[in-house]
């Protein structure tokens, strides 16, 4: 009987460990907050991209669907802008309010719904 309980406990521990690994691996990518001061971005959405980035195209499609003003900053065309902003990975999507301040930032994929909520929160 003790042997069966030991095996059940071992299986429970293995399942819990697998669930923890699955949960941790689903976390959203992180990017340090960027500074939009002095970059001249108007209110709306700014998407930092690269020409070789497939996910960037998906983010751009979601951003366009919001109908908000959109500015794409492509690394190959404007590396100095991305460098001054402190962008270290793409896609990076930033919602900028009317005062030119970043109010929301999303690293990696972001959907239209989250972008719309961020725009409303920014007063746009």
Determine if residue 107 is left, alpha or beta; phi over 0 gives left, psi from -120 to 50 gives alpha, anything else beta.
Answer: beta
Cα–Cα distance between 36 and 40 in angstroms, integer? 8
* Domains present along the chain, CATH in parentheses: 44-121 (3.40.30.10)
Cis ω for the linkage preceding 68 (within 30 of 0): no
Model pLDDT for residues 76-122, shown as the tens digit of each residue: 999 999 998 889 889 999 999 998 888 999 999 999 999 999 999 99
Indicate whether this model's pTM tops 0.85.
no
For residue 17, give the 3-state DSSP assignment. helix
Model pLDDT for residues 3-49, shown as the tens digit of each residue: 787 787 788 888 877 777 666 655 555 677 787 878 888 899 999 99
């Amino acid at each position: 009987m003790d042997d069966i309980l030991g095996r059940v406990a071992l299986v429970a521990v293995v399942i819990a460990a697998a669930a923890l690994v699955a949960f941790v691996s689903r976390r959203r990518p992180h990017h340090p907050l960027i500074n939009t001061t002095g970059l001249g971005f108007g209110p709306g959405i700014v998407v930092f991209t690269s020409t070789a980035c497939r996910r960037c195209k998906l983010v751009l499609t979601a951003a366009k669907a919001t109908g908000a003003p959109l500015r794409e900053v492509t690394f190959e065309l404007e590396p100095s802008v991305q460098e001054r902003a402190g962008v270290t990975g793409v896609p990076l999507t930033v919602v900028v309010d009317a005062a030119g301040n970043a109010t929301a930032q999303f690293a990696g994929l972001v959907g239209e719904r989250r972008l719309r909520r961020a725009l409303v929160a920014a007063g746009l």
